[in-house]
Amino acid sequence: MLQIRPTCENCNKNLPFDSQEALICTFECTFCLDCVHLLQHVCPNCGGGFEKRPIRPSHLLKKYPPSQVIVYKPVDLQEHLKAIKKNE
Ligand SMILES: [Zn+2]
Ligand SMILES: [Zn+2]
């Protein structure tokens, strides 16, 4: 099941379950739209791409609440962009 993490991993911005600007990679690394642009749409943890996080229907939130565990690991953007270039 999708964790639906509460914030952006890079800037710690709040990303509520119904946020329109939450994106996730296949491992659910979660970033806001602004940070995904900065990351050039490459996940710094796994190297994969991002998709918009689906919004869980509100009637399921009680039974399947979003995660409250904050994952905050700011990205070294310069290193990240260097790594992307190397892989091109
Ligand atoms: Zn962010
Ligand atoms: Zn990832």
User: From ligand 1's centre to the CA of 35, what distance in Å?
Assistant: 4
User: From ligand 2's centre to the CA of 31, what distance in Å?
Assistant: 10
Predicted pLDDT of residue 88: 74
User: What are the structural domain ranges in the chain?
Assistant: 22-87
Predicted pLDDT of residue 5: 98
Handedness of CA 86, 51, 67, 38 (dihedral sign): positive
User: From ligand 2's centre to the CA of 65, what distance in Å?
Assistant: 22
Nearest to 81 by CA among 24, 51, 37: 37
Beta bridge partners of 52: 23
pTM: 0.94
Predicted pLDDT of residue 23: 98
Predicted pLDDT of residue 87: 79
**Could you list the mean pLDDT of each consecutive 10-residue stretch along the chain, which spans 88 residues?**
97 98 98 98 97 97 97 98 89
Predicted pLDDT of residue 79: 96
Q: Are 32 and 22 in contact (CB under 8 A)?
A: yes
User: From ligand 2's centre to the CA of 22, what distance in Å?
Assistant: 14
Distances (CA, A) of 17 to 31, 44, 84: 13, 22, 30
